[in-house]
Amino acid sequence: MTKIPQSVGIIFKHNFEPARKECQRLEDWFTQRGIAVYTEEMASRSSSSQSLQEETSIPDTVDCVIVLGGDGTLLGAARKVGRYGLPILGINLGGLGFLTEIPSKMLYENIEKLIAGQIAVETRLMLRARVIRDNDEKCSFTVLNDVVINKGALARIIDLRVSIDGRFLTTFRADGLIISSPTGSTGYNLSAGGPILYPNLEALIVTPICPFTLTHRPIIVPDTSVIEIKMGENSEEVTLTFDGQVGFDLTDNDRVIVSKSEEKLKLLKSPDQDYFDILRTKLKWGESSYNNANQ
């Protein structure tokens, strides 16, 4: 980031006292240096919402946004301020995160680099998802990680007819379906057996959840693709979730259309953090072989 910020937004984790206290300290730190500060407490996740847009009190004129919390807090912030093109710097107040990759002990060290214009900006693909019911758009969201169709705990298996760019792919009989961005590939997609994609790649991942047919496997498609999922009959207790935080109830014959968003997230990256280091740490790669070798 080459521009020295004149104003910043701070979004901190809801009902988390360490985040609230750190926000106050950081606000004072910026104020003492003549930098205008706007703060917002990120509300807890919503289990169901028919709202078409999440609002924010952070002005779209700030130079950057700092997120204090974890990856979930940053996902919510991305949906709120990502559409403005505001660069986001994620500070993890717990363990290391894929998105909030800077630990709290390195907060002010990286803020100094931010002020000095020494923080790089990495763009991340975002997804736009729309729900069409009886030829009427009922819901539209822009997300960073994933869009997930999931059945209720006691509901039976669901039929999901999937087309790519208007061409029929297959009908998944499964517990659900994940459409993931490369950034979200290490989330629910990975748990469901999907591949890890380097986060700034331009592609989308389609991953079935517990498919009835074992030959149904994840597929990677170009970022120019438009993915349409049509709900089958008797689709009771089926929910569409956005980044695992906001939900929308689906009904029979609803169409879910997912494509890349026109907006891209600008993620501020510390020069001290490497993506492969984060992968090894989060996924504990090499630990068993190292431990076995030292037993």
Read off the pLDDT of residues 49-71 as tens digits, 9 standing for 90 and up.
444 567 888 999 999 999 999 99
Going by C-alpha positions, the residue among 123, 272, 146 that lies closest to residue 200 is 123
The pLDDT assigned to 3 comes to: 65
Domains of the chain, each with CATH number or no CATH: 7-119+270-293 (3.40.50.10330), 126-262 (2.60.200.30)
| Cβ atoms within 10 Å of 8's Cβ, excluding its own | 25
Please determine, for residue 78, whether its predicted confidence score (pLDDT) is greater than 60. yes
The pLDDT assigned to 281 comes to: 86
Whether residue 40 contacts residue 98, with contact meaning beta carbons closer than 8 Å, is answered with: no
Binning pLDDT at 50, 70 and 90, where does residue 115 land? confident
Rounded to two decimals, the pTM is: 0.89
Binning pLDDT at 50, 70 and 90, where does residue 45 land? low
Give the active site residue among 71, 146, 175, 254.
71
Alpha carbon dihedral 280, 285, 288, 291, in 10-degree steps, equals: -30
249 is catalytic: no
- Quickly list DSSP for 72-134: HHHHHHHHHHGGGT--EEEEESSS--SSS-EEGGGHHHHHHHHHTT--EEEEEEEEEEEEEET
Please determine, for residue 165, whether its predicted confidence score (pLDDT) is greater than 50. yes
